[in-house]
Structure 1
Amino acid sequence: MWVFEPSNVAKFAETSAIFDDHRGAVIAAFVLATALIVGRFAATWGPVRVDRAVLKWELSGSASRHRPLRRRLAVAVGCAVMADVAIHGALSLLVPESATILLALGGAFGLIAVCAAYIAQLLGDRSVGARGFPRFGRLSPERLHQRTFAPRDGFAAAVGLGISMMDASWIADARITRWQRHTASKSGRLHRTAEGAFVRMDLRRLRRHPEAVVRWLCWTAVGIAVSILVDFHAVPLLISTLAVWSAGVATAGGLTSVSDPVLARSFGVSDRYLRRWHCVVPTIATLVSAAAVAAASSVSLFACAFLIVGTIMSVLRRATRPPLPFDAPMVIEPLMTGAAFQPTLLSAQLRGLLLAVVVGVVAGALG
């Protein structure tokens, strides 16, 4: 744990002069932003959630569901509070003199965020005709509907696969599937030319999924804030570059989805032509994000150009990766650990991300 001592952390990163001049406002904004993120995750996941087997064998009888649901609610509250405290703990490494206050604020606002998500879930399940805010006696988890504490969205399985496979694309697919089950999409008139149709399809996708635009804005804001508020003594642009990469990937859903050749055949164009026009929206989004981060970082013109071009290439490389080869041959490392791994699968999972890391390191050296 000696790595996290304030003297050792200061060798790699310190707060900037702007952070020190506006410390109170920066900390307040950080606390509120973290609470919103934790609350959003709690609302998306559901502060009370069980799988279908538990619902069928434990919660479908005549006995009260209050105790098992209350126990799972307590676990969710504890996880949310600990996650918020851990995020504030990362900031306290930079400002160790305010560590106690930051950890206390993290725990308090994490609790408020998950409680707000639970109350929103409860209000969404209240009986038809009920009015006003429920009284304290009606806040029992027993009043929740099974559609919210045992949803058929496959999100839990996707999260499990994302953790075990170390790939977040499972979660993205589950998010789109759940959106499709709750939203009826309408067809509209497309452009007569294939080029205009492809670009408009991507824009319509972003309009139907505003969460992608929100994630793009949030990652761009993170990159700008890190560049302004933190002075890194080593690899100064690495964190900001990864934020730009994440922002670009958030808008590349259309490019990711065209791996299926059905679209190309329906328009009568080649796969390369199809992907070329689906690159327009993520390229522009990454360009804007990278330019904003480069301007906030005050890097040289050459480093700015390298950052923009490199992040665009890494985003497009990530979005155009083929399906992951989970059946790739395994190799056993005989020297150190004896662990088995799949080199082909690992290289596919790192496609785009590794390039973004290299771009961040080199751009920081050029800046």
Structure 2
Amino acid sequence: MTAVPATIAEEAPAGLPTARQVRTHLRRARRRHHDHSLGDVLGSAYVVVLFVGMYGWFAISASRNLLDSPSVGRAEPGVRWWLALAALLAGGGLVWRGLRAFGPLLVTPATQSWVTSAPIDRRAWLAPRLAVLLTGAAVGTAALGVAVAALGGVTDAAALGWAAAAGAGWGVAALALSVVAQSSRAGRRWPTLAGAVPMVAAAAITAVVVLTGRLGEGLPRPSATPTIALVAVAVPLALVATVLAVRALPRVDRATLTTGAQFANAAATATVLLDPSLLAGLVESRRWRRVGRVRSSRFRAGPGWWALLQADVRRLRRHPSAVLIWAGLVGVQYAAALALPGLAGVAQVVFAYLAVSRLTGGLRAVSRSAGLRRTLGGSDALLRGVHVVVPALGAGLWWLLTLPSLPGVDAGPAWLAPTLALGVVAAAFRAGTRPPLDYGGATVNTPFGMVPVDLLRQGARGPALLAVVVLVQLFLG
């Protein structure tokens, strides 16, 4: 058999429309079905840019004032510098995972059926999308670079320009490489390593900073920020990655194009309906499909609740990322206590809630499926009580491991720590047992529009109780 070429435009029959002609035809068809003028589009874009700039600058100013406030405590400049570097590396790893989940190239189901399935040059069809994504990545990461520099106290215009150039270069490089990874054949491991390396580096830097800070000798801050060096590395990398991405466009198959579209549609629906469980359900189903095949073993003999408890423990063993995040938040708590000593108690409550929430997979499963509860038997209270044991034990162990991170003045009375831990477990329990959202509740007419009060109340189940626990820690800690 002869090999199939990367693009089939060369073997297409004469008279087949090109990608540009198909795109022009679709654009004309869309214009006949909407009445939005160019002024309306530009006006909407202006409002979005205005709000992003206004609230972004407000967030930067508020964060700078918070870092300089005596209420958060004074920290060594080197500690904050190195922890900020670790946060940027961890954020880069998370962004890479997000790009891999979204595609980043994606098409709608209609485009998949009528365009990408036709003998049209795949590179010519996807190239404009790639150009738009690269431009958006450059603009967004340049703004992020300026924000990070301004947050660090940089006011010089030239320094802010170098920060914007560094952010734009690394953003373009990351997006272009993610397109290359999207077109990679099965068996290549470099996309996984590209996401794991910055996370491991962030964990290592955080561990070193925490250990040196606990010993009393913090890491010194570098005399100069290597912004120019970052630009010197990012620009050539971005150029090479862009060339590789353009060359890899013909190898992007329809499966990867539609997988990202499914994820994007779920994210948009969850945002519009204010229901994060829609996106979380898709992510969880993908995670369990990646497990594929597991090794079965029998449960130890005992009553029904004992078997359910063993199944919940085994769920964590087959989902090791939950335990890794739980353990990683221990180091994050120690880092937050070094960078913001005055907010160490509040950070402990918030991070404990995030850590415990990673252990409530079984609780969410039995709470959101009445059919599963009927199949398992027993009362709803028994089933939920059995599946809250693992989160409760995880909360207690996490609290004991992070208790030394609090200064003595922030520890509070002896009864405060177990009370806060129980409050965190209760908040995670309420969030995990939240029923499906009811969209028929009351709304209130405000100067900002109709506000779905009842919908917000249902969505705040769990986080609202966490806010109460935070207030208790602030007043009594």
- TM-score, normalising length: structure 1: 0.81
CA distance in 2, matches of 1:3, 1:30: 21
Distance in 2, Cα, partners of 1:355 & 1:275: 19
With over 3 angstroms needed to count, the CA separation of the structure-2 counterparts of 1:23 and 1:301, relative to structure 1, is closer
Instruction: Tell me the equivalent position of 2:175.
Output: 114
State the partner residue of 1:65.
122
Mapped pair 1:49 → 2:106: yes
> What is the root-mean-square deviation of aligned Cα atoms in Å?
3.4
**C-alpha spacing 1:95/1:238, structure 2 compared with 1 (3 Å):** same
Summarize deviations over 1:108-128 as a string: whole Å, max 9, x none. Answer: 44344334433322223699x
Does the 8 A contact of 1:158 with 1:171 survive in 2?
yes
* Percentage of pairs with the same residue: 26
1:314 aligns with 2:314: no
**Hey, what's the Cα distance between the residues in 2 that align with 1:245 and 1:227?**
17
Residue 137 of structure 1: how far off its partner (Å)? 8.6
Shift of 1:323: 1.7
SS at match of 1:258: helix
SS in 1 for 2:116: coil
The separation in 2 between residues aligned to 1:198 and 1:78, in whole angstroms, is 51
* CA distance in structure 1 between the partners assigned to 2:337 and 2:138 by the alignment: 28
**Pick from 252, 257, 277: which aligns with 1:169?**
277
Q: 2:319 aligns with which of 206, 209, 219?
A: 209
Among 295, 300, 305, which residue is 2:411 paired with?
A: 300
- Once the two structures are superposed, residues 119-152 of structure 1 have per-residue CA deviations (whole angstroms, 9 ceiling, x without a partner) of 322223699xxxxxx9949833121111111228
Q: Secondary structure at the match of 1:151?
A: helix
Indicate the structure (1 or 2) with the bigger Cα radius of gyration.
2
* 1:42–1:80 Cα contact (<8 Å) kept: no
Query: Structure 1 unaligned runs (5+)?
Result: 128-133
Separation in 2 of the partners of 1:114 and 1:355?
A: 39
Q: Which residue type is aligned with residue 78 of structure 2?
A: D
1:202 counterpart letter in structure 2: D
Q: Alignment length, in residue pairs?
A: 355
Mapped to 2, the partners of 1:198 and 1:60 lie a distance apart of 47
Is 1:192 the counterpart of 2:253? The answer is: no
* Higher alpha-carbon deviation: 51-60 or 257-266: 257-266
8 A contact 1:51–1:150 mirrored in 2: yes
Task: Determine the C-alpha separation between the residues in 2 that align with 1:306 and 1:87.
Answer: 39
- Counterpart amino acid of 1:318? A
Q: Single out whichever of 189-198 and 34-43 deviates more from structure 2.
A: 189-198
Structure 1 pair 9–158 and aligned structure 2 pair: CA distance change class (3 A): closer
Aligned to 1:159: 267
Structure 2: give runs of 5+ residues left out of the alignment. 1-53, 189-240
Secondary structure (helix, strand or coil) at the match of 1:317 reads helix
Contact 2:105/2:260, CA 8 A, preserved across alignment: no
Whole-Å Cα distance in 1 between the matches of residues 420 and 326 of structure 2?
17
Does structure 2 retain, via aligned residues, the 8 Å contact 1:216–1:247? yes
